[in-house]
Amino acid sequence: MPVLVIPRSWQSSRRSNSRPVPVRRQNRKIEAATQKAIQEWFAIQKVRCERLNSGALKTDERFVRFGFPGCPDLIVLHRAVGVGFIEVKAPGGRLSREQKEFQTFCRGQGIPHLVARSLEDAIEWWRNHDHGTSRSSLG
């Protein structure tokens, strides 16, 4: 009976019937959970916080784009800030060039913009606005 010899380098990179999950996919899950927690927290505060869908969808023979390059994840609407934007990133996640450009635009216009890596970041940002302290430079 033939014997199959598997090199040690293959053995160490393989896990029992599971493939390693790419970091990008793990980050998406973390970001989605953080985004949901932020939205739920704002709902409890009775503050309008909505998800801004962006991306593209293929229909029949063409792509339909919605949103814009650099579009943040969330929009916050309330008299304390007027309008504000939140970009949710996993710890260690980085802004794309377009997201940096949008953040710079917001800061230049005095529009609150936050890069949130946790629910706590969003709570701190909101409490600073809610108490009259403008911190649009948070990010």
**E-only strand ranges, the chain:** 48-51, 55-59, 62-66, 74-78, 82-88, 113-116
For tokens 């949008």, name the residue: 102
Full residue range of the structural domain in which residue 109 is found? 22-130
If one counts the domains in the chain, the total is 1
For residue 101, the model assigns a pLDDT of 97
Q: Is residue 89 part of a domain?
A: yes
Q: Is residue 121 part of a domain?
A: yes
For residue 138, the model assigns a pLDDT of 40
Q: Is residue 5 part of a domain?
A: no
Measured distance CA(88)–CA(8) in Å, rounded: 40
Measured distance CA(111)–CA(113) in Å, rounded: 6
CATH number for 98: 3.40.1350.10
For residue 20, the model assigns a pLDDT of 58
Q: Is residue 57 part of a domain?
A: yes
Give the pLDDT of the chain (139 residues) as one tens digit per residue. Answer: 455 545 554 444 445 556 655 556 778 899 999 999 999 999 999 999 999 988 888 888 888 888 899 999 999 999 888 999 999 999 989 999 999 999 999 999 999 999 999 999 999 999 987 644 444 444 4
For residue 58, the model assigns a pLDDT of 86
Q: Is residue 3 part of a domain?
A: no
Nearest to 84, CA basis, from 48, 59, 132: 48
Q: Is residue 11 part of a domain?
A: no
